Structure formats: C-alpha cells, structure tokens
Amino acid sequence: MADDYYKTLNVERTASQDEILKSYRKLARKHHPDLNPDDKTAKERFQKVQAAYDVLKDAEKRKLYDQFGADYERVGARPGGGAPGGGPWSYRTSGGRAGPAGGSAEFNMDDLFGGSNPFAEFFSQRGGGAPGGMPGGMPGGPPRYTREESEGVDIQAELPVPFKTAIQGGKVPFQIRRQSGKNETLEVTIKPGTEDGKKIRLRGQGEFGPGGMTPGDLMLQVRIENHKWFTRKGNDLYVRVPITLGEAVFGGKVDVPTPGGTVSLRIPAGTSSGAKLRVKGHGVPSESTPGDLFAEVQIRIPAELTAEEREAIEKIEKQHPSNPRQELSW
C-alpha cells in the first residue's frame, strides 16, 4: 500500500505550504542519515519524507495527488512529458540543488535546515557549494544516485607537527569532529624528513556524501612547529650552540644533539660568536644523501663580572684594537 504523503509529513490535507515546509524541516533533520550514523533505517525514513515533500511542495503535483493519490503521475501524465515534472527520476547535483532529470522538483539543503546548512563547510571543500542532499526517490521504485552524490566528501585541515617528529618521523594525533557531533582522534604517521606544507591523504576518513555510500578522504596539510634551537633549510639543519667565553678563547669540545644522536663538536681556540661549524651527514635524514648540520656558535658572557674581570677585559680591548663592524653594510 502506497504511503499517504500527508501522514508521512504529519500534516493535515488542508495544510498550508508554510506548515508543510516546517514539518518537513523537522522530520528531515530528525531522520537524516548523516545525523543518524548508527541507525540503518534512517535513510529509508528520510527518503519517504523527501518523496512526500517533493510532491506536496509543488502546487500542480499536489493537486494531482489530491485527485488521484499514488497514481497521480500515471493518470495525470502530460502528452510527451511523462509524469508532471519529467520522466524517470535520476538525480544530479548543480548549484547546491538536486532534482529529477528534466523536471522542476528540487531538493534544497537550505529547505531542510532553514537557510543554515551545517554541512556547508564540509561540502564547500569540493569547490562547488553545498550539494543538494540525498534524493527522496518516488513511489514505485528506489532512488538512483549519480557518482557525485554517492561519493564521500573530502575534508581539508592543517596538521601541527613537532619539529623533531617532522625530522625523525613518528606518529601525531589529530582530533576531528564528525557530522554526528562525536569527536574522534586519529593517529597520523609522519615519515622522516617530512617538509612543511606536505599534504597527507587519509583515505576513507572524510565524511559521507548525500548518498551515504562511501566516505571521502581527509586531506591534511603539515604545519611544522618552530623549535627553540633548530631550524631547517632543505635537508640541512642549523642549530644555535651556546659556549662560554673560555671555550671561545681557549677552544674545547662540546656535546651537540642531532637527529642521529649526540656528537662531540670541537670548538677551535679563538672562535667568534656567529661562527658556523659543519658536521657532515647529521642533518635531515634522507633515503639518498642526508643533509648536514651547521652549528652556529653563540658566546655567552657571564651576567655579573667583578671589577677585576672588567679591568682585564678592558686591558685586552686596548691591546687588541679592532673594528668588527668594518664590513657591515646594507
């Protein structure tokens, strides 16, 4: 027995268009499959609500339905035109709406959500505005979905990655809020040497499209966080290495951390602040040739000096006059 569209939308046969729209919005929100991911019957209920609304919102179709009931399309068929609004129903997406091919009936997500579509942010990632939603079908046969409607929706987001993890590789947690309102934490694998801006695709971790067939992908763009001591240029690493005044004057060895472990770096006697010392092969790991590590020396002067210490420094300054900024220019 065919469904009574008025009972499906829970309205009287004398209901106004505003009353029909109001009831449709309430029921469509309640039964939308994207909002009921754990309810396998939600899609069927939603389709019935959509089918009823597609007819009752159209004045001409509603008039024929009131006269002929479920057979309105066959009895009220137009010459050469099939059922009112067109022939066999195959949905398409265009400009944020979906409707029967060759007809005037349309499904508008703004109708469902009253001008505020909570899925617009997800659908906008596909570059075409919000799809019209899931078709409601028609009496006598199941709805058919185009490829675009049955596909999932891709989501794009940024993934903050610690500097050390980007160099050495590892796993980074990423939290995503699903359409159902639930928060989910994913574990993203970061390969050694990953660069800033790299895109990572997690297949099947996007959202379901209006057809609800398969989920889309999650597209993550890596944003590497700054490090207190290290910076990166290509496959080379640069690290600032603080040394004492005595180490700069007399030389010595200092321990420096690298992605491959701690190395002992020799500081030549008389090293000035800003000097860069190269350590081959201790930069960013690579499958071919790893980068190098450049240690930039920074001399740390004691915060407090005695009068005798200051006098000794002044004596050195007078004995070795120089202008270290002689070549400084714009």
pLDDT score at 207: 85
pLDDT score at 144: 43
For domain 5-147, the question of CATH label 1.10.287.110 is answered with: yes
Instruction: Indicate where the chain has its CATH 2.60.260.20 domain(s).
Output: 155-224, 230-318
Rounded-to-integer distance, Cα 31 and Cα 49, Å: 9
Residue 33 tokens read as: 């499959």
**Average pLDDT of every residue of the chain:** 78
Length of the chain: 330
User: Does residue 179 or residue 197 have the better pLDDT?
Assistant: 197
Rounded-to-integer distance, Cα 6 and Cα 186, Å: 44
Superfamily of domain 155-224 in CATH is Urease metallochaperone UreE, N-terminal domain (2.60.260.20)
- Which whole number is the average pLDDT over 156-185? 92
Of residues 123, 165, 160, 146, the one with CA closest to residue 34? 123
Q: Which of 11-15, 89-93, 200-204, 313-317 has the lowest mean pLDDT?
A: 89-93
Report CA dihedral (214, 215, 221, 224) to the nearest 10 degrees.
-120
Q: What are the φ and ψ backbone dihedral angles of 138, each rounded to 5 degrees?
A: -150, 160
In a 3-state reduction of DSSP, which class is residue 6?
helix
The pLDDT of residue 2 is above 90: no
pLDDT score at 157: 93
Reported as a pLDDT band with limits 50, 70 and 90, residue 77 is: low
Of residues 325, 262, 267, 256, the one with CA closest to residue 299? 267
pLDDT score at 95: 35
Reported as a pLDDT band with limits 50, 70 and 90, residue 80 is: very low
- Which whole number is the average pLDDT over 305-309? 90
Is residue 250 within 8 Å of 267, Cβ to Cβ? no
pLDDT score at 137: 36
Query: pLDDT digits over 23-54, tens only?
Result: 888 888 888 887 788 888 888 888 898 888 88
Q: What are the φ and ψ backbone dihedral angles of 319, each rounded to 5 degrees?
A: -80, -20
pLDDT score at 268: 94
Reported as a pLDDT band with limits 50, 70 and 90, residue 292 is: very high
pLDDT score at 140: 38
Class of domain 230-318: mainly beta
User: Does residue 113 or residue 322 have the better pLDDT?
Assistant: 322
Rounded-to-integer distance, Cα 14 and Cα 131, Å: 32
User: Does residue 97 or residue 302 have the better pLDDT?
Assistant: 302
Is residue 158 within 8 Å of 221, Cβ to Cβ? yes
User: Does residue 190 or residue 329 have the better pLDDT?
Assistant: 190
- Which whole number is the average pLDDT over 211-229? 88
Q: Which of 33-37, 111-115, 295-299, 323-327 has the lowest mean pLDDT?
A: 111-115
Query: pLDDT digits over 84-139, tens only?
Result: 443 333 333 333 333 333 333 344 444 444 454 544 444 444 444 433 333 333 33
pLDDT score at 330: 82
Instruction: Indicate where the chain has its CATH 1.10.287.110 domain(s).
Output: 5-147
pLDDT score at 66: 87
pLDDT score at 38: 83
Residue 96 tokens read as: 């944020």
The pLDDT of residue 255 is above 90: yes
